[in-house]
Amino acid sequence: MKNKLALSISCLAVLVLASLALFASNHNGIILSQDGRQMIATQPPSHVTPAVEDDAKLSVISGNLSTYKYATYFCCFGYTIAGPNSDLGFTSWVAVPFTPSSNMTVNKVEVSVGYYTQNVPLTLSVNEDSSGLPGKAIQSWNVKVPFPYGDCCTLVSASSKTGVPVTGGTQYWLVVGTSSKNTTFFGGWADNSTDMRAHTVAGYCKSSGTQCGSENGKWYRVQIVMPAYAVLGQ
């Protein structure tokens, strides 16, 4: 019995150590996955700020934001967004697909992104589809990120006065990344709080080292819990 108990404890210790090895601790209660592409806030937000209500004239073309003002999205699990000169050391972007049900005009996009170590603008864009992955950007914005990752529930948003025409039944992409104007951005795009199923999104990774493996320098498909976003228009 003692031998079995000792073996069980040893196995449990190995499992715990293996789980911890998947993540690398960092400062301010933020943990990064070993590959640097996932981000967890281990401390709940000290204050929850309800998201600002959108213009009633705008309709949701696509999105997964919760209508509950204290849980518009999930604060504490998400995906790393970083530029090539960030503290992460390599580029990491994420994009979600959306398909309008009819011909519409995109007037506003919203995402649940917070900064980590570099509070500089990030880049949002609406992109064409290219064989099931993000293609050419139709419209892009460099926008400020007003709050740190792990807070809730302010949204980073960008608006277009003229609007971005989109065709019903055609897939597009909402991309969160960086550009040559904000190469040091380092933050995270938090998960939605309405749908815990895995969905196909796109990731982009580029490094001068081995961090990106066979995915280096290109968009790739990945099945994950989708980050929180909204595409609004008329």
Phi-psi domain of 18 (left: phi exceeds 0; alpha: psi -120 through 50; beta: other): alpha
Residue-wise pLDDT tens digits, 147-201? 999 999 999 999 998 999 999 999 999 999 999 999 999 999 999 999 999 999 9
Q: How far is CA 172 from CA 121, 192, 199, in A?
A: 23, 19, 15
Per DSSP, the residues of 86-114 read STTSSEEEEEEEE--SSSEEEEEEEE-EE
Is the pTM higher than 0.75? The answer reads yes
Give per-10-residue mean pLDDT for the chain (234 aa): 38 36 61 95 89 90 95 97 96 98 98 90 97 98 95 96 96 97 96 97 96 96 98 97
